[in-house]
C-alpha cells in the first residue's frame, strides 16, 4: 500500500515544471461559503428538476453535469487565459493513466455504492454511517502523507461524527451487503478527495491550478459516469423527457453544477479534502436550520442535541480553543462598548497575543456568520414554495 501511495505521489510530482508565483490569495472562508452555497443550490435545483420537471434520471443528470464541465473547460482553455497553467504541466499518457484516471474510477465507484445502498438500508441508518466520512478521509490523508497525524484532531473529528450520528439516529434495519456498500462508498469518496488534494498540492516545487485539474479529470469522470448511466438508467430513459424538462433549464442546471465543481476543486486546493468533508456537515446543519425556520419542520430533542454537538466540534476545529476564548472575550468587550480599553490593554498583557489578534478572530467569526446567513436566505428564497423535509438527505452531484 505504501509503495502504491509513493508511486501515485511521484506521478503527481512529475506533472509540474516550475512552481507558480505565490500570492496571498483569498481567505479560506470565501471558498467554504462558496462551496456551501453552490452545493445547496445544486441539490435543490437537481431535486426540482427530478421531482417537478419529471427528469427522473439522477445518474444521467450527473453525466450531463460532467459533460458540461468538460466542454466548458475546453472552451475556457481556448478562449481565455484562465487555464494557461496547463502549459506548465507535463501530461504524458502514463501520468494521465496513473494520476487522473483513478479519480474517475473512484468517482464512479462512489456513485454506484451510494445508489445501491438505498436498496438495503434505511435513510436514517445511511446518514448515521455517512457520519463516519470525516474519519475515513482523515485516516486516508494520514496514510497518504497529506495530513500530519494528531490525536487531538482525531478526537475532535470523533466528536463531530458522534454528534451527526446521534442526530441521524433512527430505526436500524441492518444489512451486511448494505453496510459494505456504504463503507465502500465512503472509502472510495475519501480516496477521490485525497487524490484530488495530492494533484492540487503537489510538492514543494509547485502545484496544479484547481481549474486546470478540473480540465484534466472532468472528461474521465464523464466517461466513467456514462458507463454507469447506461447500465443503470439506459433501458428506462425516454428522450422526450429532455424536451419536457426543457433544454434551457437543463443548460442552466449544468451551469450551476459547473460552478459547484469549480468551487469544490478550489476548496480542496486551498484547504484539504478533510475540510471539504467537514464543510458538508456544516452545510447539512444549515439546511436543517432553514427547514425549521421557514417551514417549521419538526425536529426532535435528540436531533437538536446531536447537531449542537457537531456544530460545537466544527467551531472548535475551525478556530481552536484559544481563538474561541479570544472571540468570546472580545465579543463581550464590544458589547460593553470597551473596544478602546481592549486595544490598549492587549498591548501590555503578556501571553494573550497582540491587539490585532482579537479583531482578526472577530472578523473571521463575523465572516462565517454572514456567510451562513446569506446561504440561509438564498436557499430559503429559492425554495419558498416547497417542502424541506428531505433536503438534508440530498446528494451533491459534483466531480
Instruction: For residue 52, count CB atoms less than 10 angstroms from its CB and return exposed for 0-12, middle for 13-18, buried for 19 or more.
Output: exposed
Tell me: pLDDT of 6 over 70. no
Enumerate residues 6+ apart whose C-beta is below 8 A from 342. 330, 333, 355, 358
Partners of 329 in the β-ladder:
none
Which segment of 58-72, 250-264, 266-280, 334-348 scores lowest on mean pLDDT? 334-348
- Between CA 397 and CA 390 the distance in angstroms is 16
Which pLDDT belongs to residue 55?
A: 92
Q: What is the mean pLDDT of the chain?
A: 76
- Between CA 286 and CA 283 the distance in angstroms is 5
The dihedral built from the CA positions of residue 314, 320, 322 and 323, taken in this order, carries a sign that is negative
Q: How far is CA 296 from CA 43, 169, 369, 389, in A?
A: 20, 20, 22, 10
Which pLDDT belongs to residue 379?
A: 47
Chain-centroid distance of CA 359 in Å reads 28
Which pLDDT belongs to residue 9?
A: 52
The whole-model pTM stands at 0.70
Q: Which segments of the chain are extended strands (E)?
A: none
Tell me: pLDDT of 185 over 50. yes
Summarised one tens digit per residue, pLDDT across range 376-390 is 444 444 444 443 334
CA dihedral angle for residue 278, residue 284, residue 288, residue 289, rounded to 10 degrees = 50
According to DSSP, residue 239 is labeled T
User: Which cell is 40 given?
Assistant: 445547496
Tell me: pLDDT of 352 over 60. no
Question: Following DSSP, what letter does each residue of 55-123 receive, concatenated?
Answer: ---HHHHHHHHHHHHHHHHHHHHHHSSTTGGGGGB---HHHIIIIIHHHHHHHHHHHHHHHHGGGTS-H
Summarised one tens digit per residue, pLDDT across range 242-270 is 999 999 999 999 999 999 999 999 999 88
Of the candidates 260, 269, 265, 285, the residue with the CA atom closest to the CA atom of residue 131: 285
- The greatest distance separating any two alpha carbons of the chain, rounded to the nearest whole angstrom, comes to 74
Helix axes of 28-51 and 247-270: crossing angle, nearest 10 degrees: 150
Identify the band that residue 282 occupies on the pLDDT scale cut at 50, 70 and 90: confident
Tell me: pLDDT of 286 over 50. yes
Summarised one tens digit per residue, pLDDT across range 75-133 is 999 999 888 888 888 888 888 888 889 998 998 888 888 878 877 877 667 777 887 88
Which pLDDT belongs to residue 22?
A: 43
- Between CA 358 and CA 348 the distance in angstroms is 14
The domain spans of the chain are 2-15+25-393
Which pLDDT belongs to residue 188?
A: 93
More confident residue, 129 or 240: 240
- Between CA 269 and CA 288 the distance in angstroms is 28
Counting residues of the chain whose pLDDT is more than 90, the rounded percentage is 23
Average pLDDT over residues 16-30: 56
Amino acid at each position: 500500500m505504501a509503495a502504491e501511495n509513493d508511486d501515485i505521489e511521484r506521478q503527481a510530482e512529475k506533472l509540474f515544471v516550475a512552481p507558480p508565483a505565490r500570492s496571498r490569495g483569498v481567505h479560506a472562508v470565501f471558498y467554504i461559503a462558496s462551496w456551501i452555497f453552490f452545493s445547496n443550490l445544486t441539490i435543490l435545483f437537481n431535486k426540482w428538476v427530478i421531482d417537478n420537471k419529471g427528469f427522473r434520471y439522477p445518474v444521467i443528470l450527473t453525466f450531463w453535469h460532467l459533460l458540461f464541465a468538460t466542454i466548458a473547460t475546453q472552451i475556457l482553455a481556448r478562449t481565455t487565459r484562465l487555464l494557461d497553467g496547463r502549459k506548465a504541466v507535463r501530461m504524458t499518457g502514463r501520468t494521465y493513466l496513473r494520476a487522473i484516471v483513478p479519480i474517475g474510477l473512484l468517482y464512479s465507484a462512489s456513485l454506484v455504492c451510494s445508489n445501491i445502498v438505498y436498496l438495503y438500508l434505511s435513510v436514517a441508518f445511511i446518514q448515521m454511517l455517512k457520519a463516519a466520512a470525516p474519519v475515513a478521509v482523515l485516516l486516508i490523508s494520514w496514510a497518504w502523507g497529506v495530513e500530519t497525524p494528531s490525536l487531538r484532531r482525531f478526537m475532535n473529528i470523533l466528536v463531530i461524527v458522534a454528534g451527526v450520528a446521534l442526530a441521524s439516529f433512527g430505526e436500524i434495519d441492518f444489512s451486511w451487503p448494505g453496510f459494505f456498500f456504504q463503507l465502500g462508498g465512503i472509502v472510495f469518496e475519501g480516496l477521490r478527495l485525497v487524490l484530488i488534494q495530492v494533484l492540487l498540492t503537489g510538492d514543494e516545487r509547485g502545484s496544479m491550478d484547481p481549474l486546470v485539474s478540473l480540465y484534466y479529470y472532468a472528461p474521465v469522470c464523464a466517461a466513467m459516469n456514462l458507463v454507469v448511466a447506461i447500465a443503470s438508467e439506459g433501458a428506462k430513459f425516454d428522450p422526450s423527457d429532455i424536451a419536457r424538462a426543457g433544454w434551457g433549464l437543463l443548460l442552466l442546471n449544468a451551469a450551476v453544477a459547473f460552478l459547484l465543481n469549480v468551487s469544490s476543486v478550489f476548496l480542496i486546493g486551498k484547504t484539504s479534502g478533510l475540510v471539504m468533508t467537514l464543510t458538508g456537515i456544516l452545510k447539512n446543519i444549515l439546511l436543517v436550520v432553514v427547514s425549521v425556520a421557514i417551514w417549521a419542520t419538526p425536529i426532535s430533542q435528540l436531533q437538536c442535541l446531536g447537531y449542537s454537538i457537531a456544530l460545537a466540534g466544527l467551531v472548535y476545529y475551525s478556530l481552536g480553543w484559544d481563538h474561541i476564548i479570544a472571540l468570546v472575550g472580545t465579543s463581550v468587550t464590544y458589547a460593553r462598548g470597551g473596544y478602546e480599553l481592549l486595544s490598549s490593554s492587549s498591548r501590555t498583557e503578556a501571553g494573550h497575543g497582540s491587539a490585532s489578534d482579537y479583531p482578526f478572530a472577530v472578523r473571521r467569526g463575523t465572516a462565517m456568520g454572514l456567510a451562513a446567513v446569506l446561504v440561509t436566505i438564498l436557499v430559503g428564497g429559492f425554495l419558498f414554495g416547497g417542502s424541506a423535509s428531505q433536503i438534508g438527505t440530498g446528494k451533491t452531484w459534483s466531480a
